[in-house]
Structure 1
Amino acid sequence: MAIAHSVLNFQSYSSNALSAQESQLIQTYVEQFGAPLLLLDCDIIRQQYRALSHALPNVTLHFALKPLPHPVVVQTLLEEGASFDLATSGEVELVASQNVPAERTIHTHPIKRDQDIRDALEYGCTVFVVDNINELEKFIPYREQVELLIRLSFRNSEAFADLSRKFGCSTTQALELIAKAKQWNIHIKGLSFHVGSQTVNPQKYVDAINTCREVMEQVIELNLPALSTLDIGGGFPVSYNSQVMPIDLFCQPINQALALLPETVQVIAEPGRFIVAQAMTSVASVMGQAERDGQIWYYLDDGIYGSFSGLMFDDAKYPLTTLKKNDQVLPSVLAGPTCDSIDVVAENILLPKLDNGDLVIGRMMGAYTSATATDFNFFKRAQTILLNESSLCENKMLG
């Protein structure tokens, strides 16, 4: 069933309340498929991709598959003209199965097995990322086929995930790697960085871009081959329960910094969360309830081992609401279905009195939810219902 985006408008987070139309649609899907569910709206994916493309008009966007690696997401973005950021052989298989042209992909995992390199090359992806001499050496057998980006480290204590703690090298090390690559006849295409997940301060990007520009100038001064690409990574923020800067405003200083790069430098990015976070809504039902320490505990059929895994792995704070309307609210706890005591979705939350079978709705559930869900305790993962797909596809359910 095709649902118009104007009707099923889940991305609004100014209020957690659901409209009557939204409530009816959710109930219809639960009657048809049961619960728990994840409702994935392809129109919101398109909207977010277009918004970031508009905000970064001179940047080629490579969607990072990691937060939501569904075939429909790949197909939707492929139709939008997106490129893709791969990190594993499984992700290579996914884009290959969706007929993504290999020239629209890059492989950005800084640490790879030889099999990972060979799988990507067999598919046709030839751009890789390295950040140390051990990794650079792995490409000697493939130097006639590959182009490499050197990943720099820019620590960011403000980000939820400071990815430069685990990956990246200093500017001095980068210059040493570029010199060694010249000695080994390996083509260094450019530089890359990632300022960290949910970065709310665009100055972090500006500082990293300026440093990369200086490295590019030093490369010329050292008579090393000029660099032609800068990958500014991902990390563009989205609003969960607190507002972040609108993306157009956020990207203004980034564009100003990019404008200072040589005209010959191509700029790419690796957005993930920004594209998909708003695109998915979760639907869980109350399995049972009990009163404990003055609060009502509601046990849901989805939890942190399932769609709410981001509460453990991603530090996300998903906006939650219910279909029940009642002015009287009570201190409540939402717990997951497993026998593990840490499986708690929300505490000290004010909710109307719920009955068994009532539905609890989570918004902003597109990033690092189904991707990191498990079947722990043999509770099955939520089924994903696809909304507003391309006319090339049929609306369907993914298990």
Structure 2
Amino acid sequence: MAHSHSVLSFQSFTTQTLSADEIQLIESSVAQFGAPLLMLDCDSIRRQYHALNDALPNVTLHFALKPLPHPVVVRTLLEEGANFDLATSGEVELAAQEGVPAERTIHTHPIKRDADIRDALAYGCRVFVVDNLNELAKFKPYRDEVELLVRLSFRNAEAFADLSKKFGCSPEQALTIIETAQAWNIHIKGLSFHVGSQTIHPQKYVDAIRTCKEVMEQVVERGLPALSTLDIGGGFPVTYTRQVMPIEQFCVPINEALNELPETVQVLAEPGRFIVAQAMMSVASVMGQAEREGQMWYYLDDGIYGSFSGLMFDDAQYPLVTLKQDDELFPSVLAGPTCDSIDVIAEDIMLPRLENGDLVVGCMMGAYTSATATDFNFFKRAQTIVFNEHMVNSERLIG
């Protein structure tokens, strides 16, 4: 359950310092709702969306629901003019419930069941992704209703998640798919790729864009209909504990590569993490402590199986800060609440001496946290509280 409030925007979600106003807000929220909590700031979502939109001025942004499929996130971005990237029938259902026009969506999961296709078509989504002939054949019954993007693979060992390991085809395979689609009277709209989550170097995009340009040229050379769309995926980086390039600088070479495409090519992107990562902070409470091998272990009421699931699934390193400030620091460990020994959030970190009930804040907690949290060991996942949604009745329950 989440409440919505209107407050000053959280300014330091990405830092390891909290302002007095933020500390007061955190403490009052815990007093009202208890811990653990996730605090979601809609103003941060707006800022990040417009920052990327400004950095990629000729690209249509489709927010990928996967990292934070929260109704408030969908509503906020819908009001800002965003489009949406859906990958499952559950995401289709959420978009439909929140009134997202189907023409502002694409369905980008490369592997689908027939029911997934039918659910998306019933909603009105028409653009899908394929990366192999087996998948292409699934669209034979729907050839008059769909437009397809062929996804290419570009391996990226530096990415948090090398999505081209699991999905995508070679340029040669893409041409075979496009030729086969022509024979089957299935419309291929364009190409897509995803260079991998949290990609640090923009050159990965540049190389992929130029390869896709070559494939588009080869399509025309073979006498096939020209492709009209290129989807450059997501993966735009954010700063956790390691500084990354500012997004406007990061996108300069990407824009230069995109300018080499024919003017008739429409360009899409699928940002997820970049939009929502810094929009949420977690608040956990110390529920117990013990000294082990010279370090203080603090057991929190949130952990790896909850909001910190990204430590396992996403390889993210979240900035952590305690509300208690003290000049004297001690080697410490932060552990989660479950009876599982892998449920450890951070080791060998320097913290002040904490007491039971003290609060520990995680920053940059918007992406792949609540989305992948569980109720393992029957520890309930953290409640989400929403700020700055700008509703008429700011205290209305929103789900």
Per the normalisation by structure 1, the TM-score is: 0.98
Give the distance between the partners of 2:215 and 2:11, measured in 1 at CA: 45
2:17 match: 17
Native 8 Å contact 2:237 2:274 kept in 1: yes
- Residue 2 (str. 1) matches residue 5 (str. 2): yes
Give the distance between the partners of 1:379 and 1:200, measured in 2 at CA: 35
Q: Give the superposition deviation at 1:137.
A: 0.3
> What percentage of residue pairs aligned between the two structures are identical?
76
Q: Give the superposition deviation at 1:398.
A: 6.2
1:228 match: 228
SS in 1 for 2:251: helix
Letter in 2 for 1:206: V
- Residue 174 (str. 1) matches residue 174 (str. 2): yes
CA separation of 1:108/1:393 partners in 2, compared to 1, >3 Å: closer, same or farther?
Answer: farther
SS in 2 for 1:84: strand
1:113-262 aligned within 5 A: 113-262=113-262
For structure 2, which runs of at least 5 residues remain unmatched after alignment? Answer: none
- Residue 323 (str. 1) matches residue 289 (str. 2): no
Q: Give the superposition deviation at 1:392.
A: 5.3
SS in 1 for 2:299: strand
1:333 match: 333
Give the distance between the partners of 2:310 and 2:316, measured in 1 at CA: 6
Q: Give the superposition deviation at 1:199.
A: 0.3
Give the distance between the partners of 2:175 and 2:149, measured in 1 at CA: 12
- Aligned residue pairs total 396
2:62 match: 62
Native 8 Å contact 1:389 1:395 kept in 2: no
Give the distance between the partners of 1:265 and 1:353, measured in 2 at CA: 58
Letter in 2 for 1:118: R
Native 8 Å contact 1:386 1:396 kept in 2: no
- The answer to which structure, 1 or 2, has the higher relative contact order (CA under 8 A, 6+ apart) is 2
1:42-53 aligned within 5 A: 42-53=42-53
Q: Give the superposition deviation at 1:395.
A: 4.6
SS in 2 for 1:31: helix
Give the distance between the partners of 1:396 and 1:45, measured in 2 at CA: 20
Give the distance between the partners of 1:126 and 1:73, measured in 2 at CA: 23
Letter in 1 for 2:157: S
Letter in 2 for 1:4: V
Q: Give the superposition deviation at 1:185.
A: 0.3
Give the distance between the partners of 2:174 and 2:391, measured in 1 at CA: 46
For structure 1, which runs of at least 5 residues remain unmatched after alignment? Answer: none
Cα deviation, 1:135-176, whole Å, max 9, x if unaligned, reads 000000000000000000001111111100100000001001
Cα deviation, 1:72-117, whole Å, max 9, x if unaligned, reads 0000000000000000000000000000000000000000000000
Give the distance between the partners of 2:366 and 2:44, measured in 1 at CA: 10
Per the normalisation by structure 2, the TM-score is: 0.98
Give the distance between the partners of 2:367 and 2:161, measured in 1 at CA: 14
Q: Let me know the Cα RMSD of the aligned residues.
A: 1.1
1:90-129 aligned within 5 A: 90-129=90-129
Letter in 1 for 2:324: K
Give the distance between the partners of 2:295 and 2:102, measured in 1 at CA: 54
Q: Give the superposition deviation at 1:315.
A: 0.4
2:33 match: 33
Native 8 Å contact 2:14 2:239 kept in 1: no
SS in 2 for 1:45: helix
Native 8 Å contact 1:384 1:397 kept in 2: no
Q: Give the superposition deviation at 1:248.
A: 0.2
CA separation of 1:158/1:396 partners in 2, compared to 1, >3 Å: closer, same or farther?
Answer: farther
Give the distance between the partners of 2:386 and 2:88, measured in 1 at CA: 25
2:361 match: 361
SS in 2 for 1:122: helix
Cα deviation, 1:3-26, whole Å, max 9, x if unaligned, reads 4334x323342xx12111111110
Letter in 1 for 2:251: C
Give the distance between the partners of 1:220 and 1:297, measured in 2 at CA: 63
Letter in 2 for 1:116: D
SS in 2 for 1:178: helix
Native 8 Å contact 1:387 1:395 kept in 2: no
